[in-house]
Structures are given as structure tokens and as C-alpha cells.
Structure 1
Amino acid sequence: MINNQFKTSVFRKESFNAAHRLHNANWSDEKNKRIFGKCNNSHFHGHNYDLEVCITGFCDLDTGYVIDIKILSDIIKSSVINKFDHKNLNEELTEFKSLNPTAENIAFVIYNLLIAKLPKELELKIRLYETRKNYVEYPARN
């Protein structure tokens, strides 16, 4: 039974390490270097990503949960961490064969991997920290 009186957001933090190269195959080497700088290194570079997953919904009256955090943790690990951790995003993930693995695009891909596993009545927001100073959110705030 759902309590329709209030929505609550629950958060789960995870982390993963991955390498990538920012590169547009339609551009010259000079333009790639000018636009992406050292992130265009042909030998790739890595980040220690911090991922925050926010789930918003109504609390279940029987459990008191929006979502069981253990279930959420298992979904994140199986759908994201196992797939991304210690990988070269450009070369090992099919999602980035034709999509530049910017933080924005990584968050978009993670969102789509997770939303497919969640009950339809739940809202999802991804916050991905590429560095301690830089992060992206998907979907964006209105």
C-alpha cells in the first residue's frame, strides 16, 4: 500500500574508476586537441568517479520504504559498477563506440541503464562527480 501524502527522496552513493578519451572522429587531430586539451590524450586518462543515485517516490505504508536500499544497491552494482569499473569506456563499452564519453554522456547512459530496472512510479536523478570539483546531473533541474 502506498502513502500518497508525501514524496521522499533516497540516495545511494557508489564509486567506480574508469579511463576514457574525449575525441570526435569527425574532427582533425588539431581541433580535438584544441577543444578537449589533455582529455584528448591518445593513451587515455582516468577518473575516480563518484555516483549519487537519487530515487524519489511515495513511501510504502507497509515497509516505510520508497525503495529498499539493498535492492537499489544491487541494481546499481549489476547495471553500472560491474559494467564501468576499471574499464576503458571508449574501447570496452558499446554505449561509447559512437558517443563521446563526457561526464554528461556517462550520466545519461547510467540513467538509462538504471531507469530500465526501476518501477515506473519512481523518479530517478543521477549526479556524477568526475572530479571533486566537477559534477553533472541528469536529468537537469528545471
Structure 2
Amino acid sequence: MIYLSKELTFCAAHQLYNPKWSKEKNEEVFEGCAHENWHGHNYHLTVTVKGRPDEDTGMVMNFKDLKRIVKKEVISKVDHKNLNLDVDFMKGKMTTCEVLVEAMWGVLAPKISEFTDGRVVLHSLKLYETNTSFAEYYGE
């Protein structure tokens, strides 16, 4: 099995806020992330797929195709957007790094499999919210 990865970046704003809690509790739990005027991050996403190289091309998947799918299905929807208000696959969800990476999986996994006729599957997503904080998801 060969693992192929593509890295992409995007900028987005969000707010962590549980409407069931008081403002004070939200600020206690989420600190600055609960700020009423939002805040933003420069996210870094690593998309890893797995499969066997194609006999004719020698590629698991063309990097250009992987980039095109990720940009169309995810990056175009989140880049320079408010994750709480503008992103269809995040409606009604907490916009933590953990929930975001899982939601991205739900969008990308079927698209990659469909494009490759099931020959290549999504292996993992790694989403950096900051240089030192990230969430990794394997579809489990």
C-alpha cells in the first residue's frame, strides 16, 4: 500500500460558544475562542490517501487531481469564511478543530473514492489550527 499526501492551507474565522451555557461559562471553557466578535486561524490541512499505483501511470493518484478535489469540495467552502455562519457542512456544529476535521472527512472520503472508482481511499486528515495544535482523523 502506498500513502500519498497533499498539503493545503486556508484562513477562516470561528467562535467556540455553547448556547446552552452562560457567557461566563463559555469564557471559562473556551477563553478567547468564545469572543463575541469571532477570531481567526491560518489552518494547514494534510490529506493522505492510500492505494496501489496504477499500471499505466505509475501513480496512486495524480497530485493535481487530489488537489483539485480538496480545493473544490472543502477549501473553496472554508477559505476566508466564517466556519459558524458560512460553511454548509458545519451548520449546527461546534467549530473545533476536531469537529471540523471529521466533517471534512465526511465530504472528502466519498468524493475521492468516487473519482478513483474505489481504487484509492482517504486514509487520514491532519488539520493544524495553529503551528503547535492539530487534530488527526482516520475515519473511525
Structure 1 length as normaliser, TM-score? 0.90
The partner residue of 1:101 within 95, 113, 122 is 95
Q: Structure 1 vs Structure 2: percent identity of aligned residues? A: 38
The partner residue of 1:33 within 16, 23, 27 is 27
SS at match of 1:90: coil
Equivalenced residues, count: 135
For residues 5 and 90 of structure 2, the distance between their equivalents in structure 1, rounded to whole angstroms, comes to 26
1:57-114, CA deviations, whole angstroms, 9 ceiling, x for partnerless residues?
1111211111111111100110111100000111111333311000001101111111
| Alignment correspondent of 2:60 | 66
Structure 2 length as normaliser, TM-score? 0.91
Q: Which moved more, 1:49-58 or 1:113-122?
A: 113-122
1:10-51, CA deviations, whole angstroms, 9 ceiling, x for partnerless residues?
110100000000011111111111110000001000000000
The partner residue of 1:10 within 4, 21, 31 is 4
For residues 112 and 97 of structure 2, the distance between their equivalents in structure 1, rounded to whole angstroms, comes to 22
Structure 2 unmatched ranges of 5 or more? none
Residue 42 (1) aligns with residue 36 (2): yes
Across the aligned residues of Structure 1 and Structure 2, the Cα RMSD in angstroms comes to: 1.4
SS at match of 1:73: helix
| Alignment correspondent of 2:15 | 21
Q: 1:140 Cα shift?
A: 7.1
> Which one has the bigger strand percentage?
1
For residues 113 and 140 of structure 1, the distance between their equivalents in structure 2, rounded to whole angstroms, comes to 11
Structure 1 unmatched ranges of 5 or more? 1-6
